[in-house]
Amino acid sequence: MIIKKTYVSSLRIARKIHRTSGALLFIFFFIIAITGLLLGWKKNSNGLILPQSQKGASTELKDWLPLDTLQSIAFKTLIDSIDKNINLDLQRIDARPDKGMVKFVFNNHYWGIQLDGSTGDILAITKRRSDFFENIHDGSILDIIFGTKGEIIKLIYTTIMGIALLIFTITGFWLWYGPKLIKKNR
């Protein structure tokens, strides 16, 4: 009888925690679910979410232009094609020797430039929606908006959401298993 009361009491507490945290974090769980779904499908979106990698003329690195030359072409392309005042802060250069192509990805916007590694020809000027969705998904969009260094908002956000998901999992399991245990101990 005491065990049953303990189980019933713990079920009430679990239900209250589950319901309250669910109500408080609903919008965040919704955003994470939608962006997670989009990120899961990014490579199968026919270039809508993640731009398709184009192919260059040569896969032989010895035929390629130097990276600083390719970077200059990418910067000029971005300025000429998008905005003369666009930020050129480079996040990464993604060399794809197997495709004969180099991608230039930038920090403060979602434009990307794909160049032929050997000729420097522009293969694609792309909007990198997947990076935007990823920034929403992990909370780093807030660090970008507020200009915080070290991704502190992302760290706080992912910690809260990770703990919330853990609490949801534990209380949800108990809400499912607890009644079974009570029936078993009747």
Task: Concatenate the DSSP letters of all residues of 52-102 into one string.
Answer: PPP--S---GGGSPPHHHHHHHHHHHHHHHT-TT----EEEEEEEGGGTEE
Confidence label for 178 from pLDDT (cuts 50, 70 and 90):
confident
| 96 and 53 Cβ atoms separated by less than 8 Å | yes
pLDDT digit string (tens) for 59-107?
999 999 999 999 999 999 999 999 999 999 999 999 999 999 999 999 8
How many angstroms separate the CA atoms of 88 and 164, rounded?
38
pTM of the model: 0.82
Q: Is the pLDDT of residue 3 over 80?
A: no
Burial track 87-97 (b if 16+ CB lie within 10 A, e otherwise): eeeeeeeebbe
Average pLDDT rounded to a whole number, residues 132-152 = 93
pLDDT at residue 149 is higher than 90: no
Report which residue type is found at 74: A
Residue 8's pLDDT band, with cuts at 50, 70 and 90, is confident
Q: Token digits for 117?
A: 């590694």
User: Could you tell me if 113 and 97 are in contact, meaning their C-beta atoms sit under 8 angstroms apart?
Assistant: no
Query: Which of 35-39, 60-64, 146-150, 163-167 is predicted least confidently?
Result: 146-150
Letter for the amino acid at 184? K
> Would you give the DSSP letter of residue 157?
H
> Position of tokens 């908002």?
153
Q: How many Cβ atoms are within 10 Å of 83's Cβ, its own excluded?
A: 11
Helices (H), the chain: 2-40, 67-81, 129-137, 140-146, 152-184
Q: Taking the CB of residue 113, how many other CB atoms lie within 10 A of it?
A: 24
**Is residue 150 left, alpha or beta, with left meaning phi > 0 and alpha meaning psi from -120 to 50?**
left
Task: Inform me whether the pLDDT recorded for 186 exceeds 80.
Answer: no
CB 65 within 8 A of CB 120: yes
Band of residue 51 on the pLDDT scale cut at 50, 70, 90:
very high
